[in-house]
């Protein structure tokens, strides 16, 4: 058995850790820095979880309406554009700060993620990396 001091399981919470923003620089496709610093919440944080649940509920509601109005099976299929938009909305829900002169509002974050899908993907990736939000986190 390890000699590591015991601690309570209650002392570990990725939800709580993810509520503290993690800052990083967005990268260009060639690996160079963009000069844009962003702050993101962890994917398991309460705020992100609540917004994700809201987006999923809204999506399911739209699907139910589509299915009820469908006249053929093809009418029930979700357009791929909705999947792409959903991913960008998920990214925007995680974005809480940036180095731009404009404030990072939910509307501005959504517009930024829609207009910059390559950055939206980085926001989701970094937000999902739990170690970015823990005390022993490497800053990468």
**pLDDT > 80? residue 138:** no
Q: pLDDT band for position 2 (50/70/90)?
A: low
The answer to whether the CB of 24 falls within 8 A of the CB of 126 is yes
* Residue bearing the bigger pLDDT, 27 or 134: 27
The reported pTM is 0.82
Mean pLDDT for the stretch of residues 90-104: 97
Neighbours of 39 (CB within 10 A): 16
CB-facing half-sphere around the CA of 88: CA atoms within 13 A: 19
Domain boundaries, the chain: 36-133
Mean pLDDT for the stretch of residues 26-52: 96
DSSP-based three-state secondary structure for 108: helix
């Amino acid at each position: 058995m390890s000699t590591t001091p015991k601690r309570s399981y209650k002392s570990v919470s990725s939800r709580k850790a993810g509520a503290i923003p993690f800052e990083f620089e967005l990268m260009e496709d060639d690996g160079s820095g963009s000069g844009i610093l962003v702050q993101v919440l962890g994917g398991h944080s309460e705020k992100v979880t609540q917004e994700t649940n809201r987006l999923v509920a809204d999506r399911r509601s739209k699907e139910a309406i589509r299915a009820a109005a469908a006249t053929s099976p093809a009418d029930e299929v979700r357009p791929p554009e909705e999947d792409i938009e959903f991913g960008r909305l998920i990214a925007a829900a995680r974005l809480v700060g940036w180095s731009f002169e404009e404030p990072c509002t939910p509307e501005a974050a959504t517009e930024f993620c829609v207009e910059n899908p390559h950055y939206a993907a980085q926001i989701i990736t970094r937000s999902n990396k739990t170690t970015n939000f823990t005390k022993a986190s490497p800053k990468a």
